[in-house]
Chains A and B, each alone.
Chain A
Amino acid sequence: MTTEVTMRIWRGDPSGGDFANYVLAAVEGEVVLDVIHRVQAGPAPDLACRWNCKAGKCGSCSAEINGLPRLMCMTRMDTLPEGEPVAVAPMRTFPIIRDLVTDVSFNYEMARQVPPFLPQPPEADGTYRMAQIDVERGQEFRKCIECFLCQDVCHVIRDHEENKPRYAGPRLFIRYMELESHPLDTNDRRELLRERMGLGMCNITKCCSEVCPEHIKITDNAIIPLKERVVDDSYDPVAWLGRKILRRTKRAERVVRIDDPAGLEEPVDPANSR
């Protein structure tokens, strides 16, 4: 085991910034967030980062570690290449506040537009009956810790600020699917999803599913079923399947190039995606 670690941490504000190097002693069993804390307690007490539970449950310490969107508290130092500097940068999809802290209010704006849960009337005794198998569908999506790593990696908005007003993004798509699959809900959100939430702009590259720390099958279990539900007469299943297979073959090269938006496809216009 090496005795030192070099952290390359992005420091800056909305006007700009750069990576700064910090060299610290290596400590067995640490995660990236532990080392960030040691930087704060030592050379940089003003290093800004969000964190809360340090157990992968609150979703606040999201960052890009060596270019990959991850939770700092769940990334063990000994899983990163030994002897090489560890680069830690803020999520790129959201505006910088300071250092590793970004303004994620876009997600809250989108959450406010979700038509609320509207339950059917309860049983005669005032309570509800639901089967375990039926609640499990929604429970998968309610595991979401709102780390917004899926929003960060989604290329529809990652480098396309202009798409944000008309694109809810993976986090909100699973929220819509959670409500769609809720055994008690009676609200219909399909028209809204198709017309205003940009569901068609997602071209099923599954980047979001890959970075999800809760291993929610965002694409397979939420986005694709939603697309099927909102589909209109012009839907062509053969063409859709063809696109899906094509995208999968392209995906392998994309994973290692998350930091290189030039290698990513342009978002597909909803009008042309079907």
Chain B
Amino acid sequence: MAEGGAAAALGTVWPEDNWKVHFRDTMRGGKLLNNWRMAELHAQEAPDRIYELEAWGALFDRTKDGRILQRDFGGHRYARLAHVGDRTGLELIRTLQQRAVALGIEVFMECKILRLLKNGEGAVNGAVGYWRTTGEAVAFSAKAFVMATGGIGRSWKYTTNSWESTGDGHALALWAGADLIDMECMQFHPTGMVWPLSVRGILVTEGVRGDGGVLRNSQGRRFMFDYIPPMFAAETAESEDEADRWYEDHANNRRPPELLPRDEVARSINAEVKAGRGSPHGGVLLDIASRRSNEYIRRRLPSMYHQFKELAGVDITSEPMEVGPTCHYIMGGVRVDAETTATTVPGLFAAGEVAGGLHGANRLGGNSLSDLLVFGRRAGIGAADFAEGATASSALDPADVAAIIRGATTSLEREDGESPYEIQHDLQETMHNLVGIIRTERELLEALDALETLKDRTAKVAVSGGGVYNPGWNLATDLPAMLAVSSLVTRGALARRESRGGHTRDDYPGADPGLGRVNLVQHLDSDGQYVLVAEPLPDMPAELAALLEEDPS
């Protein structure tokens, strides 16, 4: 769960901070593949959304003068993350949940959507699914739909994501005819737990590094100093002394290399482990114990303390953590209009991780929570405006609904067949081994073949036990989306013959300026075949482009 904080240029800790610096950091962190208008709106509106949460009851940590405290995170020039210890995501959930309760908003819990329906004019007007608790079918008809379904990490072996991150929204949009962009751009978070095996992949917040933690290899070396890329050299410390001074004095020192953007740190850890300088269980060491007091660590990072103590038997106030890269976030997603979050299909909107564009090729920590707040609000307004103007029928054809339900229940009726868990296991192995943090053409082609085989096997799964809260059946209904999204990622990764942000090709290790100017856009044609087209990025106004070049020091 999101832990570190929500990025917003409030300027409460560093008055020098403002939306222009946040915009610049977001674009550079995304290797300039971002949708500039989304990045601009995000940086401009994030502060208002944070204050809005406060007016709804959120209790962020405070500065000495009683304002919202901000925390340092990778790629952000100033301390910019509004936070609550290391459980900021939970604070957002509770605040919005309590606000929804106060407003009397109806929430349909444990309802799984299988497909979207469209009316005669091509606008989405229905969503068909089933209730987990009864197994009964349900169809919603409406004039507008907003998808906020999150990510796709379930298809990888080690992930920070919930099991629900099956990419349902990406797949629903794809099947409804929408465009998706830059699906190859996935973020592997540098610091996931690696031991014991059963907790491998669980998130270790970047806040550990923001609050003073450093990465060391088996020889005790702070190896991140060996991996500072030219793009960030001017704003990164040259020595351990300078890096350590920065925590107290941002003005006269540069940032520690541990706080480079996540793609850089994850790749560096991967390289250290590959070179044989890893920790006992195949990660590297994240050390805050030797650098901060017991009291400080427990106050700033209570969840991390608890998590390592309970699950790994490690006391992070006295010993280092073993950490390594874990599948965390997809920057690519459904193509949306920056102002309204409208997808390319009328009546369908998308906000948050399911939408693409804001984060370019790599997302900065803290920009996800602010993304949800800024574009969640815009999606609500956009969908409401659309619904108000919509005149086409929202009536659904019962035959369409029945066909979708029939498709989803065949696995329950099949006598003999493979378990969906076996297919999930093989899918996770395939994506981990062949479409992981470092990619090559040979392995990506192998993955496409494997995905075809898995698709055939999925068509023949069998589950027993009926429709009532049946996890095996639910997984069987998840698999088509997981396979579709895995295919989009693999096809995007094949086509982007360069390394940029979260997408790293071993056979094309450098960035290609030409590919840096295009989105890779995918959709299904009328025969259900995947189509991929490179389209130029939207033109950025000169005054925004100028912000990117400003001297960071």
A contact set with B: CB distance below 8 Å: 13, 27-31, 34, 40-42, 45-49, 51-58, 74, 76, 97-99, 101, 103, 111-112, 114, 116-117, 119, 122, 126-132, 135, 138-139, 142-145, 179, 182, 184-185
Cβ of B274 within 8 Å of any chain A Cβ, yes or no, is no
Residues from chain B with a CB closer than 8 A to the CB of A145 are: 90
B473 and A46 contacting across the interface, CB-CB below 8 Å: yes
Residues from chain A with a CB closer than 8 A to the CB of B311 are: 31, 55-56, 74, 76
B468 and A34 contacting across the interface, CB-CB below 8 Å: no
Cβ of B419 within 8 Å of any chain A Cβ, yes or no, is yes
Which residues of B (363-389) have their CB < 8 Å from a CB of A? none
Cβ of B360 within 8 Å of any chain A Cβ, yes or no, is no
Nearest 8 CB-CB pairings of A with B? A29-B196, A46-B465, A45-B472, A129-B66, A116-B102, A117-B57, A41-B421, A48-B469
| A57 and B468 in contact, given A74-B311, A112-B101, A135-B59 (Cβ under 8 angstroms) | no
Rounded to whole Å, the gap between the CB of B97 and the closest CB of chain A is 8
B62 and A135 contacting across the interface, CB-CB below 8 Å: yes
Give CA–CA (A70, B221) in the complex, Å.
41
Give CA–CA (A28, B203) in the complex, Å.
20
Q: Which of these, A47, A56, A99, A131, contacts B310 with CB under 8 Å?
A: A56
A127 and B196 contacting across the interface, CB-CB below 8 Å: no
B310 and A97 contacting across the interface, CB-CB below 8 Å: no
Give CA–CA (A76, B471) in the complex, Å.
23
Q: Considering only CB atoms, which chain A residue lies closest to B203 in the complex?
A: A55
B310 and A45 contacting across the interface, CB-CB below 8 Å: no
Cβ of B202 within 8 Å of any chain A Cβ, yes or no, is yes
A49 and B67 contacting across the interface, CB-CB below 8 Å: no
Give CA–CA (A42, B303) in the complex, Å.
32
Q: Considering only CB atoms, which chain B residue lies closest to A145 in the complex?
A: B90
30 residue pairs A–B, Cβ–Cβ below 8 Å: A28-B197, A29-B195, A30-B196, A31-B198, A34-B198, A40-B421, A45-B420, A45-B464, A45-B470, A46-B466, A46-B471, A51-B163, A55-B307, A56-B311, A57-B90, A58-B1, A58-B162, A74-B311, A97-B133, A98-B469, A99-B469, A111-B98, A111-B101, A116-B101, A117-B98, A130-B66, A131-B66, A135-B61, A138-B59, A182-B57
Residues from chain B with a CB closer than 8 A to the CB of A142 are: 59, 84, 90-91, 94
Cβ of B56 within 8 Å of any chain A Cβ, yes or no, is yes
A46 and B202 contacting across the interface, CB-CB below 8 Å: no
Rounded to whole Å, the gap between the CB of A88 and the closest CB of chain B is 15
Cβ of B60 within 8 Å of any chain A Cβ, yes or no, is yes
Give CA–CA (A214, B358) in the complex, Å.
35
Residues from chain A with a CB closer than 8 A to the CB of B292 are: none
Give CA–CA (A127, B420) in the complex, Å.
51
Residue from B66, B102, B163, B306 having most chain A Cβ neighbours under 10 A: B66
Rounded to whole Å, the gap between the CB of B244 and the closest CB of chain A is 25
Give CA–CA (A79, B88) in the complex, Å.
30
Cβ of B463 within 8 Å of any chain A Cβ, yes or no, is yes
Instruction: Fill in one digit per residue for B243-263: 1 if any A CB lies within 8 Å of its CB, else 0.
Output: 000000000000000000000
Residues from chain A with a CB closer than 8 A to the CB of B472 are: 40, 45-46
Residues from chain B with a CB closer than 8 A to the CB of A34 are: 198
Residues from chain B with a CB closer than 8 A to the CB of A41 are: 419, 421-422, 425
Give CA–CA (A52, B65) in the complex, Å.
38
B contact set with A: CB distance below 8 Å: 1, 51, 54-57, 59-62, 64-69, 84-85, 87, 90-91, 94, 98, 101-102, 133, 162-164, 195-199, 202-203, 303, 306-307, 310-312, 419-422, 425, 463-466, 468-473, 475
Rounded to whole Å, the gap between the CB of A171 and the closest CB of chain B is 12
Give CA–CA (A46, B466) in the complex, Å.
8
Give CA–CA (A76, B311) in the complex, Å.
7
B59 and A27 contacting across the interface, CB-CB below 8 Å: no
Give CA–CA (A99, B470) in the complex, Å.
10
Residues from chain B with a CB closer than 8 A to the CB of A135 are: 59-62
B468 and A98 contacting across the interface, CB-CB below 8 Å: yes
A29 and B51 contacting across the interface, CB-CB below 8 Å: no
Rounded to whole Å, the gap between the CB of B10 and the closest CB of chain A is 9
Give CA–CA (A54, B326) in the complex, Å.
15
Residues from chain A with a CB closer than 8 A to the CB of B65 are: 129
Give CA–CA (A54, B464) in the complex, Å.
26
B196 and A132 contacting across the interface, CB-CB below 8 Å: no
Give CA–CA (A129, B473) in the complex, Å.
50
Rounded to whole Å, the gap between the CB of B444 and the closest CB of chain A is 28
Residues from chain B with a CB closer than 8 A to the CB of A98 are: 468-470
B307 and A45 contacting across the interface, CB-CB below 8 Å: no
Give CA–CA (A112, B101) in the complex, Å.
6
B202 and A48 contacting across the interface, CB-CB below 8 Å: no
B198 and A30 contacting across the interface, CB-CB below 8 Å: yes
Q: Considering only CB atoms, which chain B residue lies closest to A181 in the complex?
A: B59
| A45 and B419 in contact, given A97-B468, A129-B66 (Cβ under 8 angstroms) | yes
Q: Which of these, B55, B87, B307, B468, contacts A122 with CB under 8 Å?
A: B55
Q: Considering only CB atoms, which chain B residue lies closest to A105 in the complex?
A: B109
Q: Which of these, B57, B60, B85, B306, contacts A119 with CB under 8 Å?
A: B57
Give CA–CA (A31, B198) in the complex, Å.
8
Q: Which of these, A29, A45, A139, A143, contacts B198 with CB under 8 Å?
A: A29
Give CA–CA (A145, B61) in the complex, Å.
19
B62 and A131 contacting across the interface, CB-CB below 8 Å: yes
Q: Considering only CB atoms, which chain B residue lies closest to A77 in the complex?
A: B198
A117 and B102 contacting across the interface, CB-CB below 8 Å: yes
B307 and A56 contacting across the interface, CB-CB below 8 Å: yes
Residues from chain A with a CB closer than 8 A to the CB of B84 are: 139, 142
Give CA–CA (A56, B420) in the complex, Å.
26
Give CA–CA (A233, B307) in the complex, Å.
46
